[in-house]
Amino acid sequence: MSPAEPGETEEPSTELPVVAPQLRELRRRASLTLEAASRAAGLSPAHLSRLETGQRQPSLPMLLALARIYGTTVSELLGETVAERDAIVRAADMEPTGAGGWTYWQAGAPSRGMQALRVHVPYGSQGDIVRVHPGEEWLYVLRGRLRLRLGDAAHLLAPGDSAHFDSLTPHRIAAADHAGAELLFVHTLLQSPTAALCLGPATGHPTSGETS
């Protein structure tokens, strides 16, 4: 069996069985080859192929990255459909979804220019990837402490702290406490899938943790 790569778990996908066919369909809809899409996501073609065939389960950061590349939302990657777009999202309707140790709740309507999530970030290393992509990100720490690296600067955020930054700044996050961290997270989506191709692969960084 091939070793796991950043952004995937060791076990075959069981929690999110619909992700594999959706990933393949959305990549083809975006007119991207396996090689082009994997390069934009900072993956090997073999890695992306395993995600598309259900042999591996993507983490939440990987789902967010692929959603940007394909010009869609995590909801669509998961095969979720909404009858009509409502301005109000009730707490009772926010179903938790687990991916690669992360847990998130959709806190906004799909197919918008921004995507809002409530996210539980697990403690420990989430791979060796630094994210770089067009757009903006805003996060607000609800519980626990969060380590945020922006470029060469490292920050420790406590509950009530927030960050708003350009996503072209190399960035990554990790929970600083064993109980993890919970945050509100808002990011903009790529409207043009081909815009991601000029970014090249993600670059490694010695600090533990990973962001979207």
Instruction: State in Å, rounded, how far the first CA of the chain is from the last one.
Output: 27
Q: How much helix, strand and coil, in percent to the nearest 5, is found in the chain?
A: 25, 25, 50
Q: Per-residue confidence of the chain (212 residues) as pLDDT tens digits?
A: 444 444 444 344 344 446 777 888 888 888 888 898 888 888 889 989 988 888 888 877 788 888 878 877 777 777 665 455 567 778 777 888 877 778 888 887 766 667 788 999 888 755 456 777 777 889 999 999 999 999 999 999 999 999 999 888 888 888 999 999 999 988 876 443 323 322 223 333 333 333 44
Contacts for 162 with CB less than 8 Å, ≥ 6 apart: 138, 139, 140, 141
Q: Which of 81, 77, 44 lies closest to 63, judged by CA?
A: 77
User: Tokens 């309707």 — which residue?
Assistant: 93
pTM beyond 0.75, yes or no: no
